[in-house]
Every structure is written in structure tokens, then in C-alpha cells.
Structure 1
Amino acid sequence: MSTDASPASDAPPEGRAVLPRLLAVVLGLTAALAVMLCAFALPSVNGGPHHAPLGVTGPAAAVAAIGEQLPDDAWEVTAYADPEALARAVENRDVVGGLGVGGDGVSVFTASAGGQQIAAAVGGLGGTLAQRQGVPVHTRDLVPFPADDPRGTGLGAAALPMIFGGMLPAIALIRLFPGHAGLPIRLAGVVAFALAAGAAVAAILRFAMGTLDGSFVTTWLGLSLGMAALAIPFLGLESVAGLAGFGLGAMVMMFLGNPLSGLATGPYWLPDGWSTLGQILPPGASASLLRADAFFDGAGAGGPVLVLTAWVLAGLALMLVADWRHRAGARRRQPAAG
């Protein structure tokens, strides 16, 4: 007579133990789906100028009237002495665009490379103002996209490659060089990959697609810093919390960092809170740095560089914590072994 004994792992779990875990999984996944939907949909639904800096020049009465007519939550108006000063402010990214009121009509100053939607909104303001006054409108795009890609299509397509440029090397190196002994090898690997991949992406966008302008070296180094600011924190999270830490970081960057980066629209087109969150995450800071390096001769690059450097240092700090924990554990094991 034989007894058919099933392994313990095949035995059905008890109901009391299953229900809390099942409920936690269902609620957790539902919350993650809700956050993902909000991150992708709400910025688009509520897209529009949000406290966007707008320059205005002309007679004092006309400038004051424009400031009074525009909603405060959409535009922040700054007066400039003359059209030349306003044009310099647009080129230096002090304002997203400007309106000039003069005897020959209304002049509209835009920078479509800084965000096509916001540039179109500035153009709409100028057209409305000119229509009310019955005068012609003159539009000057001071910082356009290059002629080979006048709509900036390649720039919007670079969002996911920039994010995967931080995730993929971390995944591959964690699998190839696991454990604490492989930690310095993984770090060296992601730095080397960031430099190589940054050069490749910059070359494709610049020379193959014609999307980018400006210094190739500066753009390359900025892209590499953005990829390192993703990959090194991923390594740090995995070294401290294992695959769970890596997975959490990947979810945040994919489901929040990607839709809130503002790469296709510019940060001022997103709602205030979403825009701020996006700019302190590596994808958003990388997008702002890429625009600054590729189109504005580095104007406005300081803030994104600080954000990305802080993420790199945070990842290194997590790796140091993991190393300290490993050494402390080794010291505790030595007396026990003796």
C-alpha cells in the first residue's frame, strides 16, 4: 500500500493567511494603477500655461493693461525696457516668450525649442491682442528647432531611451556581477555605459535626425550625467534593499518620472505640483538639461545639473551604506567562526 504524499509547497495555504496577503496585493496594484493613470493623464488633461514667465515691453499703460488682463495662475508678467532686452530674456530662458506693443503693431517673441505648446500659447496671446487693437502681428521665433527637425519630433522620442539608458545597464550588471563583491564592478560599468550611451544618443539626435543644435560634447556629457543619475541610484537601492528596492525605483521613474519629465512640452505646460515633482526627478532634470545644452547655449543648466548630481550622490551613499553593513556583518561573523 502506497501513500500519495504531496510536497508541502503544493498544499493549499490556509484561508486566514491568504486573505490579508491577497487583499494587500489587490489594493497595492490598484493604487499603483491609479497613480500611473493620474501621472499620465492628469498633466495632459490639465495641460496649459501654469505660472509661465512672460515678458512684455511697450508703453507703460499698455504693459499694465496686459498684466491686468492675463490670469495670474497662467502667466507671470515681467516688463522690459525695449524689444532688444526682451529678446535677450527669451534667449537666456528668463521668460518663455514675450509681447512687444509698438507703433508698427504687436511683436511676438517665442522660443519653440523651449516648448512648442507654450510658444503657441504666447503666439495666441499676441494674435488676440493685435486683433483687439486692429494692428498687425509680427512673430519672431528666437530659438527654433533645427531645420532638419522643425517640429522637434526626435526630442520627444528620446524620453524612453534616456530612462532605459539608466535602467538596462543596472539590470544587466546586477545579473552579471551579483553580490557585494561585484558592487564596484557594477558601479564602473554603469559609468562607462552612461558615457558611451550618452555619446550614441547625442550623435543620433544631432547627426542622424538633426534634432539637436549646440555643442555636441556638452550635450553628450549632459545626457551621460542624466543616465548616471538613474543607474547609480538603481544600484544603490538594489544593494540596500535587493530587487524590491530596484523595482520600487523603476516604478517611480517609469510611472512618474517619464510622464512628468516635460521633455515634449516644457515644464511650464504641466500643473504646478506635477511640474515641480517632475523637475526634481532625474528624467525631468535630464530633459531640462538637454534643452539648455542643445538649444540655449547652457542657459538654465545649473539647476538640472545640481539635481542630477544630488541623485548620483544619493546612489553612492546607498552603496556606501551597503558596504558598511557588509563589513559590519563580516566582523560579527569572524568571532563566531573562531
Structure 2
Amino acid sequence: MGGRMKYVFVFAFPFIMAMLLVGIYTSAMHSPTPKDLPVAVVGTSAQAKQMAAGLNKANGSPVDARVVASVERAKELLHDRDIVGAFVLPATAEGDAVIYTAQAAGAAQAEMVKAVLEPLASSQHLDVVEKDIAALPAHDGMGVTVMFTGIAWVLAGYIVVAAIGSGAPELNPLRRLVPLMAGWACLMSLVIWLLVGPVIGAVEGHSAAILGLGALSIFTVSMTQTMLSRFMGLLAVLPGITLFVFLGVPASGLSVSEYAVPGFFRFLHDVLPLPAAGETLRSVLYFDGSGAGGHLLVLAVWTVVALALTAVVDLRRHRSGSDSGSATGASTADFQVPEPAPAT
């Protein structure tokens, strides 16, 4: 029976991995549908208020519209990612309406905003001019660099702990693992930066910030995976990859807008490590660090909680082992081999 179960587990693991990958990714991203897109209608006239109210009241409205008094204020909200688009009414009867977006906050999201707001202009018989306050660089028009860099950080932190658990368990004690993972995080952050920056040329500047963020992200994931391993042993590889990648990618907003996935993933966007790492990197590269604080806090909380829970588990196991020995009255002296009696 034991041999049969071994083979069951051998094939069950890749089976479950494949089902999770297809099931989660497909259910989250196969049909992106905008909902509650935060947009602004810019103007002080009654028309602006009526337009925003009409957008919100429309049956199945994909937006959550507000009125903003000035273009400058709308640009500030876009820069801080408090809104994803702005519709500016023309100043004169002969003027054009303007749709503002921020492509660097998500290329697919920007196109989604245009698809929602352009019909609004058509319904008002207005010509439209499109403007982007944060365009992506020409060499990364789809913005995939942020997504793949974030995934690389996550995998660097996850895989090393899984490998240590199966191949080098003697490194698992926290006093050894923490400095080892800190060094590993710095090394891999440097390697990944070298690849996406100097070698490939996908990222320019912000070297210190990227190196620091990469090290923090990798260390956070490694400590979180360590915590999972303390509770589940080698089986922790499955919830780990699910948490960090299978759930993290759809929730990240790095490939599909967070406003176009089911609500559960929008919640995860604010609490998982990959969205936190990716959004912080996006903030650093394209928005002067605006909005990074909350995402950095998410990474810090994961790190602190993971370290604390791991330390508690280790301490309880250590005490349990000590208590067990004293309860039976056994000591190290009881298990020493007696010296042979001298010959007479």
C-alpha cells in the first residue's frame, strides 16, 4: 500500500498544479470585464455633474464616475492612480473633448478606459483628443517588464526555500536561514537587475530603488514560504506557488486591470506579495514613487508575520522536545555507553 501511495503522490502533485494553473488563470482572466473603473468627468458646469451621474446610473455601468473641477486635479489623481481615466468637456462649443489616461499604470487598462469613454463623447457629438500623462517607453510598449521582474523576484524567493527543504534541511533553522536568505535576496536582486537593465535594456535608471525593492520582495517571499513549510513540510510547495503565482498574477494588475477581474482578485491585489512588489516597481519607474508606501507596508507585514510565526513554531517544537525528555526522566547521561571495567 505504501508503494502505491507513493506513486499516487508523484502524479497527484503535477495534476493539481496543472488544474490550479488553468482553473485560476482562466477563471480570472479569460473574459476581462470592467467594473467600477474610477474615472473623472472634469468640469464645473451642470453638464459635468449630469454626465457623471448618468454614467453611474447606467444599467451595468462599468465605471465609478466622479466630478473633478480642474484638469490639473484630474492629472494628479491619475498620477496617484486614484482614478484610471478622465473625461474633459470642451471649453467651447467648437472645442474637443479630451480623454486622459496613464498607460504606465496598465496598457490594457488604458485601452479599456478609452473603450468606455469614447462612446460617451460620440453620444454628445463631440470630437475626442486622447492624451497620456504617463506613457510607457517605446521599448516596452505593453509594460511587461514590471510583470516579469516581479514574477522573477517571487520565484527567486519561493524556489530556494523549496529546494532547501528537500535538499539541504540542515539550513532550515532560522539562525542559519535568515542571514542566508538575506544574502540570497541581495544576490538575486542584483542578478535580475543586471538582466532587465544593463543586459536587456528594458529598465533605465532607478538602480538603487530597484535593487532594494527586489531584495525586500525576494526576502519576503522566502520567509513566507519558510513559514508555510513549518506548518506543512514539503507539501508547502503547493500552497506556496498558488499564493505567490497562481493567485498573485491575476490579482497583480500587471497583465489585466484589477478592475477587470472578479472581486476576489481585487481584494487580493491589496494583500498579496506579487501585486505589492509589482505596483511598487511601477510606482518607482513611472510615477516618481507615488503610491508606493502602502504596497511596501504589505511586504513588510508579510515579512514580520512570517518571521514571528516561524519563530513561535520553532520555539514550541524546541520546548516540546525538551519537555518530552524531562517528562520521561531521561538525560544525555542515561544514553552514554559505559566504560568497560578494568581487567583484574
TM-score band, normalised by shorter chain: 0.7 to 0.9
Kept after mapping to 1: 8 A contact 2:98/2:129? yes
- The counterpart of 1:119, out of the listed 89, 95, 110, is 110
Correspondence 1:54-73 to 2 at 5 A: 54-67=39-52, 68-70=54-56, 71=58
Task: Give the aligned partner of residue 302 of structure 1.
Answer: 293
Contact kept? 1:153, 1:211, Cα under 8 Å: no
Distance 2:22 2:291 in 1: 31
Amino acid at match of 2:29: S
1:78-89 equivalence runs, <5 A: 78-89=66-77
Segment of structure 1 superposing worse, 204-213 or 115-124: 204-213
User: Are residues 1:40 and 2:25 paired?
Assistant: yes
Distance between the aligned counterparts of 2:166 and 2:16, measured in 1? 30
The alpha carbon displacement at 1:164 in A equals 1.1
Matches within 5 A, 1:69-108: 69-70=55-56, 71=58, 74-102=62-90, 103=92, 104-108=95-99
Give yes or no for the alignment of 1:187 onto 2:178: yes
Shift in CA distance, 26/240, structure 1 to aligned 2, threshold 3 Å = closer
Change (3 A) 1:172 1:9: closer
TM-score by length of 2: 0.81
Distance in 1, matches of 2:14 and 2:181, equals: 30
Instruction: For 1:149 and 1:77, locate their aligned partners in 2 and report how far apart those are by CA, in whole Å.
Output: 30
Q: Which residue of 2 aligns with 1:249?
A: 240
CA RMSD of aligned residues (A): 3.1
CA distance in structure 2 between the aligned counterparts of 1:26 and 1:146, rounded to whole angstroms: 44
Aligned mate of 1:277, from 252, 265, 268: 268
Tell me, yes or no, if the aligned pair for 1:174 and 1:186 is still in contact at 8 Å: no
Deviation at 1:139, TM superposition (A): 1.3
Cα distance, 1:31 vs. partner?
7.6
Q: Is the 8 A contact 2:55 2:61 kept in 1?
A: no
Shift of 1:279: 3.3
Cα distance in 2 for residues equivalent to 1:180 and 1:241: 17
* Per-residue CA distance 1:27-83 (angstroms, 9 max, x = gap): 999887655433101222341322221122024333223321355752111211111
How do 1:141-290 residues align onto structure 2 when only pairs under 5 Å count?
Answer: 141-175=132-166, 177-179=168-170, 182-212=173-203, 215-290=206-281
Count of matched residue positions in the alignment of Structure 1 and Structure 2: 322
Deviation at 1:127, TM superposition (A): 2.6
TM-score (norm 1): 0.82
User: Deviations along 1:192-246, whole A, 9 cap, x unmatched?
Assistant: 2222222332343344444446632222222222222211011122234321234
Structure 2: which amino acid aligns with 1:60? S
Name the % identity.
Answer: 22
Pick closer, same or farther for the CA change 1:251–1:130 going to 2, 3 Å.
Answer: closer
User: Residues 28 and 178 (structure 1 numbering): CA distance in 2 closer, same or farther, change over 3 Å?
Assistant: closer
Q: 1:256 to 1:204 in 2, by over 3 A?
A: same
Change (3 A) 1:115 1:173: same
2: distance between equivalents of 1:246 and 1:293? 31
Counterpart Cα distance in 1 of 2:171 and 2:204: 42
The offset of 1:254, in angstroms, is 3.2
Aligned to 2:330: 336
1:312 is aligned to 303
Contact 2:250 2:256 in 1 (8 A): no
Whole-angstrom distance in 2 between the partners of 1:178 and 1:39: 31
Q: What letter matches 1:237 in structure 2?
A: L
Q: Say if 2:123 is the partner of 1:132.
A: yes
Gaps of 5+ in 1: 1-7
